[in-house]
A = this chain, B = another copy of it.
Amino acid sequence: MIIYASGVKLFYRKGVSRLIVNFLKHELPPFYSTHPWKVTEEKFSLEHNLLSETIFSLSNGYIGIRGSFEEGLFYYPGRSIRGTYINGFYESVPIPHAERGYGYAMNTQTMLNVTDSGIIELFIEGERFTLDSGTIIYFKRVLNMKEGCLNREIIWRSPAGREVMIKIKRLASFMHRHLIAYYYRVQPLNFSGEITICSSGDGGVDNHTHEEYDPRYSASLGDLRMRVRGIEVKERGAVITQYTVRSKLEMVCAVENCINGGKILAAETKRPNDKKATTTFRLKVYQGEDVILEKYTAYYTSRDYPAEKLPGLAWEMVTNAREMGMDDLSAGQEKCCRRYWENLGLKIEGDPVVEQGLRFNLFHLLQASGSRGQTGIGAKGLTSEGYDGHYFWDMEIYMLPFFSAVNPGQARSLLKYRYSILDYARKRARELSHERGALYPWRTIAGEEGSSYFPASTAQYHINAAIAYAIFKYIDITGDYSLMLEFGAEILFETARLWEDLGTYVSRKNNQFGYNEVTGPDEYSALVNNNCYTNLMAQWHLRYAAETALLLKKKHPEDYRRLAEKIGLSEGEIKLWQQAAEAMLIPYDEAMLIHPQDEGFLDKQVWDFASTPAEKYPLLLHYHPLVIYRFQVCKQPDVILAHLLLGDRFSIEQKRRDYNYYEPITTHDSSLSPSIFSIVASEVGYVEDAYGYFHISARLDLDNLMKGTHNGVHMANMAGSWLCLVSGFAGMRISNGRPCFHPYLPEKLSGYSFRIQSGNSLLQISVNIEGVTYELVKGESISFAHCGNKIILSKGEKVTRGLREDLQDS
């Protein structure tokens, strides 16, 4: 069977029926034009505007703005979600439980939509510029991924016939995390006359409520919308202070405007209401001559600085930015991007559509990476309020492997963030009646569990293992054991304790150790016994914790003693971890020779896919959980994910059998699904599946394949798409600190290359039809493996080898 995505034919093996059903629906051809470094909207589309606002979001990991137009919200009701978000800045919102149970999460933290400082309104001889009036003669919106900025060019004829060229550029500064800058250039094309530019900051914002019926969205804030404490009016700008009601946080937004060109007839800043400040320039303009507004806005919050310092800091930032000017800021921005892309060394030859998609994903990962140990990366980054801006387990399982391999500092900060909320995880474990250990929240911002439906959240204990696994992977590729000593071991031991306390030895099953009433990654089953993924990861986690404890004791006795004392860890307890790990029950079906997803899974009926029409996907929006839970149907990989994470434990034949079983019953209703299937398909040699899923993963947001990108990008999948290339096609695994490759070239491609950092070395891997070339780009020397053979490269050296040959025709 054949499907089309982005107008390109995709080939699939027969089994991929679910995905076909789902993805056949999306529109062809792609909405944004293809280019290696740009995402371009060639034509204004109100219909696609919500999607474009996400696609053209800018952020720097600290602050994010959606790609909404400067003209303001008013003219596009229902077609625009204006959003300005600060990572980790939240309101604490009570969770309305109709029936409350003991230990339920009582509050959720909601990332706030803060002061909208992106408003620039233009009046031409009294006629307001909007895209739904007059005539659009020319329109182009470009996300420039090399320069790190968003550009828009319009030639517009007003209803009265006046023509203007407008060029707008904006950036969320990578060098100055608090800063957003706008460059707004107007040129009268066929007239001279008067124009007015009104530049505002508006604190009269709320989070967007989602009346649509979709449990994945953010909720209304109602009485808890952010309040404006006050506005200080400056000559050509303002400082707006907001505060939150329950979380008791403060935020300041400073706005400064500079005008150049034309003749200023009047300029003043006023407050049209008590939440908004507007600087108005009345100008005499001349045909063919530019008027340029530079606008600088800065955000500071009391999560980083004392509240009383915020106005000063913010104002200082915007006045400094004005000094630097847009040219300098742009140059700095481009430099940051250049460094990033150089470091990634990404190239894909033969499939420009996929290359663009992957690069777009990597650009959003750059935009999301701003952790300094106090924040994580939300499921949607800073591109929307979806999932309330919460951090989930996918940060560790999907994003951390990427950052560990290309930006270890960012990976370390994300793990440091987890350490910063360890006390909350301890508290949560107590609420769940565990006398020892820590249970990380399924979704959170500042550490408190924010999930309301525990069967698909708190029951997903596997988040503990995800964090432990990310620590392991980070150390394995970076060699930075200081993280373990500094805080990693404490996380590792506290989370391991929970596994020991949670499980039970089952006398009726040869005293094997197992877990009842847990939920694995696949949320189309819940509260099951001995979820295969959970048991495998718990076993790995307990072993790793025990090994680490013994190693620390031997090699870092003082660190160990201090930590053991702090958390009351005894040797007896470490033995318990080992015993539990040894006794772990791993469900396996001897007749079918596959791993059941959980103990009862294979007793259920297989979902009737044949009778499920395309419009009934995703299933969670069309079937009650009781219906879904009753069948063999997976939202996303579960056993298959374990095969990737703990690959050494399973033979290729085993992985292939499990893949053959689970792939046809997986709906991929989660964006976490395609990339994992692609990687494992590569490993087991199903090259058509591997490429098909990779294509989907690479284009998932750009082509809006999940139909939900208007509500934010899918960060985990973005990292996953890179893993499809690196861990999938190039077969990279890390084994005892050494990268190992097992590369092949997908039929569709003529070549690809990428770089990874291992320790202090930067290794470039380039694959084409001839073979693979490894080159040490940075560092003194590197040791790695190619198809099982060890290679050592010295500085500047490179070596070429043949590709793997064990691929299966599927």
Contacts from A to B (Cβ < 8 Å): 95-104, 108, 213, 215, 219, 431-433, 451-455, 458-459, 502, 504, 506, 508-509, 514, 516-517, 526-527, 529, 591, 599-600, 602-605, 620-627, 629-630
Contact = CB atoms under 8 A, between A and B. Distances in A.
Nearest to A529: B600
A454 B624 contact: yes
Contact of A458 (B604, B605, B626): B626
A266 to B, nearest CB: 48
Given A102-B623, A215-B99, A219-B98, A605 B108 contact: no
A98 B102 contact: no
Nearest to A600: B529
Given A103-B627, A502-B630, A527-B527, 11 more contacts: A96-B98, A97-B98, A98-B108, A101-B215, A101-B624, A102-B622, A102-B623, A103-B623, A458-B626, A517-B630, A529-B600
Contacts of A219: 98
Pairs A-B, 10 closest by C-beta atoms: A103-B624, A98-B452, A96-B96, A504-B605, A517-B629, A99-B453, A95-B98, A99-B215, A517-B630, A433-B627
A526 B101 CA distance: 14
Nearest to A98: B452
Contacts of A95: 98
B96 A620 contact: no
Contact of A599 (B600, B605, B622): B600
A506 B602 CA distance: 9
Contacts of A99: 215, 451-453
Contacts of A529: 600, 603
Contacts of A603: 506, 508-509, 514, 516, 529
A620 B102 contact: yes
A600 B529 CA distance: 8
19 contacts: A95-B98, A96-B98, A98-B452, A99-B215, A100-B213, A101-B624, A102-B620, A102-B622, A102-B624, A432-B624, A433-B623, A458-B624, A458-B626, A459-B626, A502-B630, A509-B603, A516-B604, A516-B630, A517-B630
A624 to B, nearest CB: 3
A102 B621 contact: yes
Contacts of A622: 102
Q: Which of A458, A526, A625: most chain B CB closer than 10 A?
A: A625
B625 A101 contact: yes
A591 B605 CA distance: 28
Q: How many copies of this chain are found per oligomer?
A: 2
Contacts of A624: 101-104, 431-433, 454, 458
A519 to B, nearest CB: 10
Contact of A432 (B451, B526, B626): B626
Contacts of A630: 502, 504, 516-517
A509 B102 CA distance: 37
Nearest to A433: B627
A626 B517 CA distance: 7
Contacts of A629: 516-517, 527
A508 B601 CA distance: 11
Contacts of A508: 591, 602-603
A455 B519 CA distance: 14
A605 B529 CA distance: 12
Contacts of A627: 103, 432-433
Contacts of A97: 96, 98, 215, 452
A516 B96 contact: no
A45 to B, nearest CB: 30
Contacts of A502: 630
Contacts of A215: 97, 99-101
Contacts of A591: 508
A603 B517 CA distance: 12
A172 B452 CA distance: 44
A284 B664 CA distance: 90
Contacts of A623: 102-103, 433
A290 to B, nearest CB: 51
Q: Which of A453, A458, A526: most chain B CB closer than 10 A?
A: A453
A455 B98 CA distance: 14
A620 B101 contact: yes
Contacts of A108: 98
A605 B515 CA distance: 10
Given A459-B626, A624-B431, A626-B517, A101 B453 contact: yes
A509 B591 CA distance: 13
A444 to B, nearest CB: 15
Contacts of A454: 624-626
A105 to B, nearest CB: 9
A58 to B, nearest CB: 30
A94 to B, nearest CB: 9
Contacts of A604: 504, 516
Contacts of A626: 103, 432, 454, 458-459, 517
A375 B433 CA distance: 42
A642 to B, nearest CB: 21
A590 B516 CA distance: 22
Nearest to A602: B508
A163 to B, nearest CB: 49
A518 to B, nearest CB: 8
Nearest to A599: B600
A97 to B, nearest CB: 7
A95 B96 CA distance: 9
Contact of A600 (B102, B600, B620): B600
A509 to B, nearest CB: 7
B600 A516 contact: yes
Nearest to A453: B99
